[in-house]
Amino acid sequence: MKLPFHSALVAVFLSAMPPLAFAAAAPGSAARPKDTVVVDAKTEAVIKGGLKYLASKQQPSGAWGFNGEETKRQVALTGYTLMAFQAAGHLPGEGEYGKNVTAGMNYLLDSIGPDGLYNMRSDGQYMYSHGIATIALAELYGQTKSPTMRAKLDKAVKVIISAQATEPGHEGGWRYRPIAKDADISVTVLSLVAIRAAKNGGLEVPQRTIDEAVQYVKRCQDERTGGFCYQPQRDPGFARTAAAIYSLQVCGLYEDPMVKKGSAYLFDNLREDHEWFTYGNFYAASAQYMVGGETWSKWYPKVKDMLMSQVVKQGDVAYWEARGRGGVGPTFCTAVYTMILAMPYHYIPLYQR
C-alpha cells in the first residue's frame, strides 16, 4: 500500500507551529510555560548521526529491527523510530529522510489486517506494539489526512476501543492481549495516547472511552509518594510514573495536581541505573516537556548529559547500545534517545498544548 505525498506538506506543517492544529489540550488550557532549552551544536550533530544510523538500518520491507530480539518487535520498533524522525521534523516524502518515513509508515499500514490487528498478533504482549504503532500512525495521519490511511488507522483504533477492560477494579484500562479483561498502567498509557492522538486527528473515539481510561490511570497513583503503580495499590516506580503523567497531559490535564506530584517524583528518582531506563525515559522526557517552563529547563540538561556520555560515534553516525531491562537493541535505544534529544525542536503535535 503506497500513499502519495506532496511537496507542500512540510511547509504547511512547519508554518502551523505554534499553535498546532492537533494539540491535545482541552479548550481553555493555558499555554505551555516557556523554557530556555535549545539544541546545541554537539547535540545536533548526535541527532543527525542518530537519524543516519536509523536510516541505514531500515529493512527492505520498510520496518526497523535487524537482529536478535529486535526482529520479534518490528511493529513496535518501527513506531518508535517514526516518532524519532518526526521529532526532528522529517515527514513522509519530504526532506533527507522522507523516503524512510514513507516506507516505515507504509510498512505499518500494510501490517494492519482486516480485523485491525497488526501482523504480530501471536505476541504475548501484543498491545504494547499495537499502541506505539498506532500513536505513530495517528500523528502522521494528523499531518497528511490521507483517506486511504484513515481507513486502516480507524480499524486499529477500533481494536483498542473494543479491548478496554471491564473486570471490576480494572475498568477503563488495557492489558497485553486485545480482549476486554484486566489492565495495567503500561499498556493502558500506550492505548490511551493512541486513541487520543487519533481523536485529535479527527477519527471517531467515544469520549467515555478516554474518560474511563483517565480514571484508571488516576487510580494507579500512590498518594504517599506521588508516583504511579503498575496496577492500583501496588508499588510506584519511575517508568510507571512517567507513563502516567505523559498520558494525563496528552488528555489535556496539564495542571492536574497528580501531574505535578508525578513530575516531582521523577526528579527525585531519576537515575542512570533504572531497570527500564529507555522505556521510562521515552515517557519521562515527553511528560516533562509538556510540563514545560522551569521543569523542562532543568530536566533536559540532566537527561542530555546522560545520553551524550553513552553515545557511540563512528564518523558522522551515532547510536546507542541496548541498556537495561527492556532495552531490546540499538534500534530501540537510538530511536528513543534521538527523539528525546530532538524534543526542543517542538515538532511533535501530540506534545503541544
| Residue pLDDT, tens place only, 104-160 | 999 999 999 999 999 987 788 899 999 999 999 999 999 889 888 999 999 999 999
Per-residue pLDDT of 13-58, as tens digits, reads 333 333 333 333 444 467 888 888 999 999 999 999 999 999 999 9
For residue 196, name the pLDDT band (cuts at 50, 70, 90): very high
- Does residue 229 lie in a domain region? yes
Distance, in Å, from the CA atom of 249 to the CA atom of 54, rounded to the nearest integer, reads 29
Q: How many CB atoms lie within 10 A of CB 77?
A: 28
DSSP state of 119: T
Q: Which residues of 16-28 are buried (b: 16+ CB within 10 A; e: fewer)?
A: eeeebebbbbeee
**pTM for this structure?**
0.91
The answer to whether the CB of 326 falls within 8 A of the CB of 66 is no
* Cell digits of residue 190: 500506550
Q: Name the residue with higher pLDDT: 172 or 26.
A: 172
Is residue 232 included in any domain, yes or no? Answer: yes
Q: Which three cell numbers stand for residue 17?
A: 507551529
Residue 192 lies in a domain: yes
Domain that holds residue 261: 81-292+343-351
Q: How many domains does the chain have?
A: 1
315 to 52, 312, 319: CA distances (angstroms)? 11, 10, 11
- Give me the amino acid identity at 16: A
In a domain, 53, yes or no: no
The CATH number linked to 97 is: 1.50.10.10
Tens digits of per-residue pLDDT, 256-300? 999 999 999 999 999 998 888 999 999 999 999 999 999 999 999
And the C-alpha cell for 303?
537527561
135 domain residue, yes or no: yes
CA distance 351 to 342: 13
| Domain membership flag for residue 336 | no
- Residue 118 maps to a domain: yes
Domain assignment of residue 195, yes or no = yes
